[in-house]
Amino acid sequence: MAGHPPAPQAIVINPWMEGPHRGAMANSLTPRLAGIATAVPSYVLDQAAVARAGLGLFQGTLADGGRAAAVYANAAIGTRYSCVPLEWYLAPHSFAERNDLYLRHAVELAEQAIRSALVRAGLAFGDVDAIVAVSTSGIATPSLDALLVERLSLRRDIERLPIFGLGCAGGVLGLARSGALARARPGARVLLVVVELCGLTFRHGDRSKSNLIASALFGDGAVACVVSTAGAGLGLVAWGEHTWPDSLDVMGWHVGNDGLGVVFSRDIPALVRRDFATVTDDFLARHGLTRARIDQFICHPGGAKVVDALEEALGVPAGALEDSRSVLRDYGNMSAATVLFVLERALGAGRQGRYLLSALGPGFTAGFLLAEVA
């Protein structure tokens, strides 16, 4: 469609070369990212059209307070992708209807990403030893990994790890859990799939500020990664997390009769400015590193204000988080999948050096992953 960013393409990860490693180092048991692929659904939502529709719902309500137009304008988003057309959002839908759509589209989108990732890694379905499935935007029991085993005829002895509830932190921490599985079973091929259909959580009858903000931010997307200690690729060297005390109400879902209602604290940017540098430095220090030794910060772009706060907290120059900003602009906030879209973009552009992946999610938790050349 003319005027819209192209859907992302799968890429294969080629290791870059750099000088002698300092601090955390890759070795023969280091999990490596053999391939990564992203996928988005077919409906393109133009932010201007979304804003017009949103103003029809929110303008003049308590959530609006005269600011609804500014919420859409300041989101720094141009387009998003959705598994349903814009008209779907203009009518009420039950939780059951939403979840039925989630199950159908999540599996279809995950399959697209998985097929591309395996091709780029030079593997077949039968080569996969374990599957990690990350998603927080719908409910699946049997879980998504089981549905994908059946749909793709994966091996019957495959190990499965479904992960629910990590929210936006799920991309970083899902990659970390995949790395841990690969490290525990040297040579095994671990398939990570992250799929979030955040748009389906929009509740037509909810006029809260959180729902207004979600309508300006959320998009749908999926990512698949192949992780193994065998072969070449980006080394996943170390990972960790920090959970703040007394922070359970900062981010999450409120479950209602009509679905999952988003919980956003307005204090998230302030919390990032106040605390993020300290917890980042603590993580890096455990691995003999400092922020000065990180070449690329791969941050989940929760929203434009959060990216601003991250730049300030990390002390990086303007433009250092351009990959995060451009993914937010082109795809919106796809929860856990978003940071891996940022990683794909950085790697596809051939950005050199040591990476630090980070994301914030319910808990309230910061997830970190240090990556370097094997």
| β-pairing verdict for 296-299 and 159-163 | unpaired
**DSSP three-state, residue 211:** helix
Closest CA to 35 of 64, 9, 57, 55: 9
The residue count of the chain comes to: 374
- Is 83 an annotated catalytic residue? no
Name the one residue in this structure whose structure tokens are 């960013």. Answer: 5
Q: Look up tokens 């970083």; give the residue.
A: 172
4: which DSSP letter?
S
Burial class (CB in 10 A: 0-12, 13-18, 19+), 155: middle
DSSP-derived secondary structure letter, 288: T
Out of 168, 198, 225, 299, the active site residue is 168
What is the Cα 190 distance to its own chain's centre?
A: 18
Exposure letters 77-103 (e unless 16+ CB within 10 A, then b): bbbbbbbbebebbeeebeeeebbebbb
Beta partners for residue 33, in sequence order: 227, 234
Give the Cα separation of 346 and 33 in Å (integer): 14
Active site residues: 168
